[in-house]
Structure 1
């Protein structure tokens, strides 16, 4: 455990709870106390590791009775999530964020292993190979949006 930082440990803890339930509700301060860290560390873990592109929906309520609700999305039974992913992609997306979406699609059985590799090959930096990073992110977003739209319409 020496090589793991506190963010990794908190992430694994939350994922282990999510493995047993489709969603969890936590109090930021209680989890922070449990791991002897500041509550902002919990925010950081949730903001960076429990994102839509990683297959999670997060809802929070601030205040004394506040909570953070984390739910693992099931893209097969809730295709509206694909619409949210399309909205997330928007007009521009980085290679890293696009790869996270591909991983989520694979984990939710919307892409086979081979298909995920093909999509990754189509959107990676070395394939697009443009000198303008903004244009590259724009083209990547168009490709990802098109794929997500096709997946959204495939089951209808």
Structure 2
């Protein structure tokens, strides 16, 4: 059985997907009431599952008429994708940013679920048991090599 965070995430992704603008505005308290949870649960879902690394821009306005705006950031077209990935990865990349990028590519259906899983395993701290900053440098090289191989030059 899925937990409440998964259910809220899927709900938000669903309405975001159906939004013609690629953006939604939600009231945190209304959403908490809808899912019978505390408002901090909504904050947790948004702050952990709708990050910039995962392809989302989140903006919030506090106060009586406050809202949380979530906007999906689309990846560049294939012609610019290689340049975008090279710039994003750079000379070193930490595990959270790398996993966020893999997540974004999987969500955009550029990587299959299997390819994404293999990449996550290859770049994990458990696999790269090397001291920083070398671990992040090797992770960047691995990411570039895998993505060039999977996406073509």
TM-score range for the pair, normalised by the shorter chain length = 0.5 to 0.7
Aligned equivalents of 1:101, 1:75: Cα separation in 2: 10
Contact 2:53 2:97 in 1 (8 A): yes
Deviation for aligned residue 1:55: 1.6
Q: Call closer, same or farther: CA 1:137–1:34 in 2, change over 3 Å.
A: farther
Match of 1:93 in 2: 94
Aligned equivalents of 2:5, 2:118: Cα separation in 1: 31
TM-score calculated relative to the size of structure 1: 0.66
Match of 1:74 in 2: 74
Match of 1:54 in 2: 54
Match of 1:14 in 2: 12
Gaps (5+ residues) in structure 1? 152-156
CA shift digits 1:11-49 (9 cap, x unpaired) = 111111012011110011110111111111100000011
Q: Call closer, same or farther: CA 1:111–1:15 in 2, change over 3 Å.
A: closer
Alpha-carbon RMSD across the aligned residues, in angstroms, is 3.6
Deviation for aligned residue 1:122: 6.1
Deviation for aligned residue 1:138: 3.1
Match of 1:108 in 2: 108
